Amino acid sequence: MSSPSTSSTSFGKCTVSQPLCFCEVEATLRYSNTPRNPGCPFFGCPKYNNEGLPFCKFFKWVDGTLDIEQEVHQIKIELLRKDEELKRILDDFQQREIKFRKRADAIEKMLSNILEEVQKKDLVLLKQEAENRRSRTLLHLYWAVAIVVSCYILLSNQA
């Protein structure tokens, strides 16, 4: 006497409990290895194929649609878990991107300030070089005038 039963959890998912075989023992889940039904699950007497133990001829195919529904449900749960994990990873990457962008902006601002300082110092150096050239030119002119005046004084004293 088989007593197949289904139960439902709080999620509404149906599961198949193991029926009792004719020996009043929980039937075991096995898989067919016949060419006609390869890999199909079925319930059978747990004493079957155990040497010397008497067994009944209990046999019941497992409802394949329930297995498929359970597998689909498990796949959905796994996909949802992976989706959440991917969302978390994406959020982490976005947070890192924001952090790196802020850091890049700070570095760009710092480089801009350094460039501005270098340009100011270059301008000061150019002004100093121009002033030095002007001073050298004036010094050369002063010496030239001094030499001409000295020569004039020397020549006018000799005459």
Same domain, 31 and 43: yes
Same domain, 99 and 129: yes
What does the alpha-carbon distance between residue 2 and residue 21 come to, in Å, rounded to a whole number? 6
Output 155 or 11, whichever has higher pLDDT. 155
Same domain, 90 and 127: yes
pLDDT at residue 77 above 50? yes
Place of tokens 């149906």: 14
Domain count, the chain: 2
Q: For 89, phi and psi rounded to 5 degrees?
A: -65, -45
Residue 1 is assigned to a structural domain of this protein: no
User: Which pLDDT score is estimated for 17?
Assistant: 67
Q: What six digits make up the tokens of 81? A: 């878990």
Domain that holds residue 145: 63-159
SS3 call for 78:
helix
Same domain, 97 and 128: yes
- pLDDT classification of 96: cutoffs 50, 70, 90: very high
Q: For the chain, how far is it from start to end, CA to CA, in angstroms?
A: 156
Same domain, 99 and 158: yes
Residue 53 is assigned to a structural domain of this protein: yes
- β-strand partners of 76: none
Distance of alpha carbon 22 from its chain centroid, rounded?
56
User: Which pLDDT score is estimated for 65?
Assistant: 59
What does the alpha-carbon distance between residue 138 and residue 64 come to, in Å, rounded to a whole number? 107
Average pLDDT for residues 63-77, to the nearest whole number?
75
Q: Give the CA count within 13 Å in the CB-facing half-sphere of 58.
A: 27
User: Which pLDDT score is estimated for 15?
Assistant: 43
Average pLDDT for residues 110-129, to the nearest whole number?
97
Same domain, 81 and 158: yes
Average pLDDT for residues 53-64, to the nearest whole number?
76
Residue 43 is assigned to a structural domain of this protein: yes
pLDDT at residue 146 above 70? yes
Residue 29 is assigned to a structural domain of this protein: yes
DSSP letter at 17 equals P
Distance of alpha carbon 36 from its chain centroid, rounded?
48
Same domain, 38 and 104: no
Cβ neighbour number for residue 14 with a 10 Å cutoff? 15
Q: Give the CA count within 13 Å in the CB-facing half-sphere of 38.
A: 1
